[in-house]
Amino acid sequence: MINPVAVAFDIDGVVADTMSLFLEIARDVHGINSIRYEDIYCYSVVECTGLDQQIVDSVVERLLDGNYSAKLEPMEGAADVLARIERHHSPLLFVTARPFLGPIRDWLLESLSLEPHSIDIITTGSHENKTEVLLKRNITYFVEDRLDTCDLIHDAGISPIVYKQPWNRVPHPYREINSWKELEALIDFNGI
Protein backbone atom coordinates (compact mmCIF):
# COMPACT_ATOMS: atom_id res chain seq x y z
CA MET A 1 0.00 0.00 0.00
CA ILE A 2 1.13 3.52 -0.82
CA ASN A 3 1.23 6.22 1.82
CA PRO A 4 -0.43 9.38 0.36
CA VAL A 5 2.47 11.43 1.73
CA ALA A 6 4.94 9.47 -0.41
CA VAL A 7 3.32 9.74 -3.85
CA ALA A 8 3.62 12.42 -6.54
CA PHE A 9 2.22 12.72 -10.03
CA ASP A 10 3.24 13.65 -13.53
CA ILE A 11 0.63 15.83 -15.26
CA ASP A 12 0.58 15.23 -19.02
CA GLY A 13 -0.70 11.77 -19.90
CA VAL A 14 -1.42 10.98 -16.24
CA VAL A 15 -3.71 13.70 -14.87
CA ALA A 16 -4.36 15.61 -18.08
CA ASP A 17 -5.47 13.96 -21.32
CA THR A 18 -2.88 15.99 -23.18
CA MET A 19 -2.54 13.66 -26.15
CA SER A 20 -6.23 13.99 -27.05
CA LEU A 21 -5.80 17.76 -26.95
CA PHE A 22 -2.62 17.47 -29.02
CA LEU A 23 -4.57 15.61 -31.70
CA GLU A 24 -7.41 18.16 -31.61
CA ILE A 25 -4.98 21.05 -32.04
CA ALA A 26 -3.23 19.21 -34.89
CA ARG A 27 -6.61 18.76 -36.56
CA ASP A 28 -7.95 22.28 -35.92
CA VAL A 29 -4.77 24.23 -36.70
CA HIS A 30 -2.95 22.02 -39.20
CA GLY A 31 -5.79 19.99 -40.75
CA ILE A 32 -4.31 16.65 -39.68
CA ASN A 33 -7.15 14.14 -39.37
CA SER A 34 -5.38 10.85 -40.04
CA ILE A 35 -3.77 10.20 -36.65
CA ARG A 36 -5.58 8.42 -33.82
CA TYR A 37 -4.65 8.23 -30.15
CA GLU A 38 -3.68 4.57 -30.54
CA ASP A 39 -1.26 5.52 -33.34
CA ILE A 40 1.00 7.26 -30.82
CA TYR A 41 2.81 4.05 -29.92
CA CYS A 42 6.08 5.72 -28.90
CA TYR A 43 6.93 8.82 -26.90
CA SER A 44 8.38 10.62 -29.94
CA VAL A 45 5.32 11.76 -31.88
CA VAL A 46 7.48 12.55 -34.92
CA GLU A 47 8.95 9.05 -34.94
CA CYS A 48 5.69 7.11 -34.68
CA THR A 49 3.42 9.33 -36.81
CA GLY A 50 5.70 10.81 -39.44
CA LEU A 51 4.47 14.32 -38.60
CA ASP A 52 6.84 17.12 -39.45
CA GLN A 53 8.86 18.32 -36.43
CA GLN A 54 7.72 21.92 -37.04
CA ILE A 55 4.07 20.88 -36.78
CA VAL A 56 4.73 18.95 -33.57
CA ASP A 57 6.64 21.92 -32.13
CA SER A 58 3.80 24.26 -33.10
CA VAL A 59 1.21 22.08 -31.39
CA VAL A 60 3.34 21.62 -28.27
CA GLU A 61 3.91 25.39 -28.07
CA ARG A 62 0.14 25.96 -28.17
CA LEU A 63 -0.34 23.32 -25.47
CA LEU A 64 2.20 24.92 -23.17
CA ASP A 65 0.94 28.46 -23.74
CA GLY A 66 -2.74 27.58 -23.48
CA ASN A 67 -3.29 28.88 -27.01
CA TYR A 68 -6.06 26.51 -28.12
CA SER A 69 -9.83 26.50 -28.35
CA ALA A 70 -10.42 22.81 -27.61
CA LYS A 71 -10.74 21.75 -23.99
CA LEU A 72 -8.03 19.94 -22.06
CA GLU A 73 -9.82 17.19 -20.16
CA PRO A 74 -8.62 15.38 -17.06
CA MET A 75 -8.08 11.64 -17.29
CA GLU A 76 -11.20 9.79 -16.20
CA GLY A 77 -11.37 9.52 -12.41
CA ALA A 78 -8.34 11.75 -11.75
CA ALA A 79 -10.31 14.53 -10.08
CA ASP A 80 -12.13 12.22 -7.65
CA VAL A 81 -9.07 10.21 -6.65
CA LEU A 82 -6.81 13.25 -6.27
CA ALA A 83 -9.47 14.99 -4.14
CA ARG A 84 -9.61 11.93 -1.89
CA ILE A 85 -5.81 11.82 -1.58
CA GLU A 86 -5.75 15.56 -0.85
CA ARG A 87 -8.16 15.06 2.07
CA HIS A 88 -5.50 12.81 3.63
CA HIS A 89 -2.38 14.73 2.58
CA SER A 90 -1.90 18.22 1.23
CA PRO A 91 -0.43 19.69 -0.83
CA LEU A 92 -0.53 17.23 -3.71
CA LEU A 93 2.81 17.23 -5.53
CA PHE A 94 2.92 17.38 -9.32
CA VAL A 95 6.28 17.18 -11.08
CA THR A 96 6.24 17.95 -14.78
CA ALA A 97 8.87 18.22 -17.49
CA ARG A 98 7.12 21.32 -18.79
CA PRO A 99 9.63 24.18 -19.07
CA PHE A 100 7.31 26.70 -17.37
CA LEU A 101 4.07 26.68 -15.46
CA GLY A 102 1.92 28.50 -18.01
CA PRO A 103 -1.82 27.88 -17.61
CA ILE A 104 -1.48 24.34 -16.23
CA ARG A 105 -1.74 25.47 -12.59
CA ASP A 106 -5.07 27.18 -13.17
CA TRP A 107 -6.24 24.18 -15.19
CA LEU A 108 -5.37 21.81 -12.33
CA LEU A 109 -7.18 23.95 -9.77
CA GLU A 110 -10.27 24.28 -11.94
CA SER A 111 -10.38 20.71 -13.26
CA LEU A 112 -9.69 19.08 -9.92
CA SER A 113 -11.80 21.52 -7.87
CA LEU A 114 -8.93 22.16 -5.46
CA GLU A 115 -7.78 25.23 -3.57
CA PRO A 116 -4.42 26.87 -4.43
CA HIS A 117 -2.84 25.72 -1.15
CA SER A 118 -3.76 22.11 -2.03
CA ILE A 119 -1.28 21.70 -4.86
CA ASP A 120 2.41 22.14 -5.44
CA ILE A 121 3.64 22.02 -9.04
CA ILE A 122 7.29 21.82 -9.97
CA THR A 123 8.34 22.36 -13.57
CA THR A 124 11.68 20.74 -14.30
CA GLY A 125 12.20 21.61 -17.97
CA SER A 126 13.27 18.03 -18.70
CA HIS A 127 12.35 14.49 -17.79
CA GLU A 128 15.85 13.89 -16.43
CA ASN A 129 15.41 16.56 -13.74
CA LYS A 130 12.38 14.93 -12.12
CA THR A 131 14.46 12.49 -10.08
CA GLU A 132 16.24 15.20 -8.10
CA VAL A 133 12.96 16.90 -7.23
CA LEU A 134 11.35 13.65 -6.12
CA LEU A 135 14.34 12.72 -3.95
CA LYS A 136 14.41 16.16 -2.28
CA ARG A 137 10.71 15.81 -1.47
CA ASN A 138 11.13 12.27 -0.05
CA ILE A 139 8.79 10.82 -2.66
CA THR A 140 8.95 7.05 -2.93
CA TYR A 141 6.21 6.53 -5.58
CA PHE A 142 5.73 8.50 -8.79
CA VAL A 143 2.88 8.05 -11.27
CA GLU A 144 4.34 8.54 -14.76
CA ASP A 145 3.56 7.63 -18.38
CA ARG A 146 7.05 7.89 -19.88
CA LEU A 147 9.09 4.71 -19.46
CA ASP A 148 12.47 6.42 -19.83
CA THR A 149 11.59 8.59 -16.84
CA CYS A 150 10.46 5.50 -14.94
CA ASP A 151 13.89 3.95 -15.56
CA LEU A 152 15.64 7.06 -14.21
CA ILE A 153 13.59 7.34 -11.04
CA HIS A 154 13.75 3.58 -10.44
CA ASP A 155 17.56 3.74 -10.59
CA ALA A 156 17.37 6.41 -7.86
CA GLY A 157 15.27 4.18 -5.59
CA ILE A 158 11.84 5.63 -6.38
CA SER A 159 9.08 3.22 -7.37
CA PRO A 160 7.45 4.20 -10.65
CA ILE A 161 3.81 3.48 -11.28
CA VAL A 162 3.20 3.43 -15.02
CA TYR A 163 -0.04 4.99 -16.18
CA LYS A 164 -0.87 2.80 -19.17
CA GLN A 165 -0.77 4.63 -22.50
CA PRO A 166 -0.22 3.47 -26.12
CA TRP A 167 3.33 4.89 -26.01
CA ASN A 168 4.43 2.73 -23.08
CA ARG A 169 3.29 -0.67 -24.37
CA VAL A 170 6.65 -2.39 -24.30
CA PRO A 171 7.76 -4.88 -21.64
CA HIS A 172 8.86 -3.23 -18.40
CA PRO A 173 9.28 -4.33 -14.78
CA TYR A 174 7.13 -1.64 -13.15
CA ARG A 175 3.74 -1.68 -11.51
CA GLU A 176 1.17 -0.52 -14.02
CA ILE A 177 -2.29 1.00 -13.69
CA ASN A 178 -5.01 1.30 -16.30
CA SER A 179 -7.10 3.85 -14.45
CA TRP A 180 -7.26 6.21 -11.51
CA LYS A 181 -9.56 3.73 -9.76
CA GLU A 182 -6.72 1.20 -9.89
CA LEU A 183 -4.39 3.76 -8.33
CA GLU A 184 -6.95 4.53 -5.63
CA ALA A 185 -6.95 0.85 -4.65
CA LEU A 186 -3.19 1.06 -4.01
CA ILE A 187 -3.39 4.05 -1.64
CA ASP A 188 -3.38 3.41 2.10
CA PHE A 189 -5.96 5.92 3.27
CA ASN A 190 -5.99 4.43 6.76
CA GLY A 191 -2.24 4.57 7.33
CA ILE A 192 -2.02 8.26 8.16
Q: pLDDT per residue over 62-103, tens digit each? A: 999 999 999 999 999 999 999 999 999 999 999 999 999 989
In a domain, 23, yes or no: yes
Q: Which of 1, 17, 4 is nearest to 84 (CA)?
A: 4
User: Same structural domain for residues 61 and 122?
Assistant: no
Q: Does 167 have pLDDT greater than 70? A: yes
> Who has greater pLDDT, 190 or 143?
143
pLDDT for residue 190: 83
User: Same structural domain for residues 126 and 85?
Assistant: yes
Out of 48, 65, 82, a domain closes at: 65
Please state the domain count of the chain: 2
In a domain, 147, yes or no: yes
Q: Does 36 have pLDDT greater than 90? A: yes
Beta strand 92-96 pairing with 119-123: parallel
pLDDT for residue 132: 97
The CATH number for 135's domain is: 3.40.50.1000
- Distance between CA atoms of residues 137 and 100, nearest Å: 20
User: Same structural domain for residues 26 and 90?
Assistant: no
In a domain, 45, yes or no: yes
Range of the domain at 26: 18-65
- Distance between CA atoms of residues 150 and 32, nearest Å: 31
Q: What amino acid is encoded at 173 in this protein?
A: P
pLDDT for residue 130: 98
User: Same structural domain for residues 80 and 47?
Assistant: no
| Cα 109–Cα 99–Cα 158 angle in degrees, nearest 5 | 80
Q: Does 191 have pLDDT greater than 70? A: no
